[in-house]
Amino acid sequence: MGMGHNTGCYEDSNDSTGYQGGIPLANHDKKRQDVVKRETLTTRQGRPVTDNQNIRTIGNRGPATLENYHFLEKMSHFDREEIPERVVHARGTGAFGYFETYGKVGDEPVEKYTRAKVFSGAGKRTPVMVRFSTVAGAKDSPETARDPRGFAVKMYTEDGNWDIVGNNLKIFFVRDAMKFPDMIHAFKPDPASNVPNPERMFDFVSRSPEATHMITFLFSPWGIPATYRHMQGSGVNTYKWVNDKGEAVLVKYHWEPKQGIRNLTQEQANKIQAKTVSHATQDLYEAIERGDYPEWELYVQIMEDGYHPELDFDPLDNTKLWPEDKFPWLPVGKMVLNENPKDFHAQIEQAAFGVGVLVDGMDFSDDKMLVGRTFSYSDTQRYRVGANYLQLPVNKPKTKVRTNQHRGQADHRDPGEFGDNHHINYEPSMLGGLEEVSEEDRIPHRPSYNAEAISAPIDRPNNYGQAGETYRRFEEWEREELINNLSDALALCDKRIQDAMIEHFTKADKDYGRRVKEGIERKMKELDAGTEKLPGRESKWIKFSQGSMDAKQATKDAVDKSHEADPY
């Protein structure tokens, strides 16, 4: 350890020891105050602070007194500055802007399909807040991870908030919400070692063939978007639009970046990660600061609500794409992000999205993942931010709120939300208070069913058809990257898992399965050749597979290539 040679009183340049330009900081600040008028620092109770540098003691080096109120308040608040981290989508950033509607769906009036006011009136702008994120990583994890990216949009419409909570990739790993907690457990680090382990993920995926399509996208260059500005967005799940007559159609949402789409290879991502873990956050912030506002066009695909026997898949299956030649993309508006957050914690970290946050003119489909997400997302916010998370400015609708849901921790709503009679906090009532809106103005959509209540998979899983189509649609360099990435990860897995994954890929496309098999064999030979260099091989696969090959080598390099130091 090297010790600084100059630890004296003054420095000629800026440093962090309490001096600046040869002037003690306290004096320097006083001189600055002659030029810049500054607000007085106060406690959170509003009392001006006279000393923010020293706690109160008996003598200048004696014991601290108990009534150090300013210090105790300052420290106790510091201890509580963070709220619980999101279980998924913890790493992220965001910005503000507007959505501008075209007033049409393609060439047709939007009112034909939905009465949602956010889409009516060409040129109308609605304020938005957007949060981009990774999925599995922790709050400060690298933004170069091979991981889906969250793409969550909150629109503050005239009919209340509308959230489109999706990802950059248009499909998902599983189609039934029952499997979601297990999926995330498998994708997270090992609960015993806390080391990321690809074998865990592939162990789960090998028994979930519906994930083959998503894995094909994820391990291709599409699994690492270059930046948040250069990625697509999708609602992933299927929703419904409802018109004035109560008639409904199925709808899917797609965001297309006007900046173009850019992806990274694993090698490119590794080089970026060696220099920064926040490149995407920095890129978005700096682009907006310089006036290079990112834009996305919003498209929808529309399908009649029904079983659609002519399709070889279930249209409510979120592991599938709707073919564009049958269900064309229709433009409905554009989104522009032109404002950065002023307080990241208040405006981005506390931003709370919910899949069930819809407005009049929209409804839920019977997509099994959508039903589960509708409960989970808002329930997460109640735990993470608090029961009154919707009262925070970033989450609060810009239209008037009138509700009898009140109290709870940190309730600070406007008393006007009670309505004209503050004594009536229930409904119905003959004495006053709030009342329901008439259905005459908002004819509801009422789907009908004639089936048993059962727990069963869908009858058209077709787990491999679109995975093969996607593989064949890739450019050759994308296929090569896909095979290399899969081979790297699967070479560390149990032989049973390898065989199962090869079978899945082969059922999607014979060339796909063959190349993955050959790639795994090639990587295995490299591992065998490097047995003496990499620790853990003697412990067999279950221990050897803790982390990737690169992580294994890096762990060894940390010891072998580090510099010894003497105690001090």
Is 69 strand, coil or helix?
Answer: helix
Using an 8 Å Cβ cutoff, are 330 and 299 in contact? yes
| Active-site option among 52, 60, 70, 89 | 89
Q: For the CA atoms of 111, 114, 120, 123, what is the dihedral angle to 10 degrees?
A: -110
- For residues 280 and 264, is the Cβ–Cβ distance under 8 A? no
Q: In the 8-state DSSP scheme, what is residue 210?
A: G
| Token representation of residue 501 | 């994954």
Q: How far apart are the first and last CA of the chain?
A: 8
Q: How far is CA 492 from the centre of its chain?
A: 28
Q: Is 485 a catalytic residue?
A: no
Contact call for residues 501 and 468 (beta carbons, < 8 A): no
Q: Which tokens hold the place of 456?
A: 């069963």
H-state helical runs in 301-367: 344
- Answer yes or no: 60 catalytic: no
Task: State the Cα torsion 265-269-270-276 to the nearest 10°.
Answer: 170
Burial class of 103 by CB neighbour count within 10 A (0 to 12, 13 to 18, 19+): middle
Distance CA 100, CA 74 (A): 44
Distance between CA atoms of 344 and 354, rounded to whole angstroms?
A: 20
CB 88 within 8 A of CB 134: no
Catalytic site residue from 70, 161, 167, 254: 167
28-49: b (≥16 Cβ within 10 Å) or e: eeeeeeeeeeeeeeeeeeeeee
Rounded CA gap, 111 and 240, in Å? 14
Q: How many residues make up the chain in this entry?
A: 568
**Whole-angstrom Cα distance, residue 538 to residue 116?**
63
> Are 339 and 291 spatial neighbours (Cβ–Cβ below 8 Å)?
no
CA angle (406 as vertex; 405, 410 as ends), nearest 5:
140
Q: Output the six-digit token pair for 313.
A: 């898949």
The rounded Cα 272 to chain-centroid distance in angstroms is 21
Catalytic residue list: 89, 167
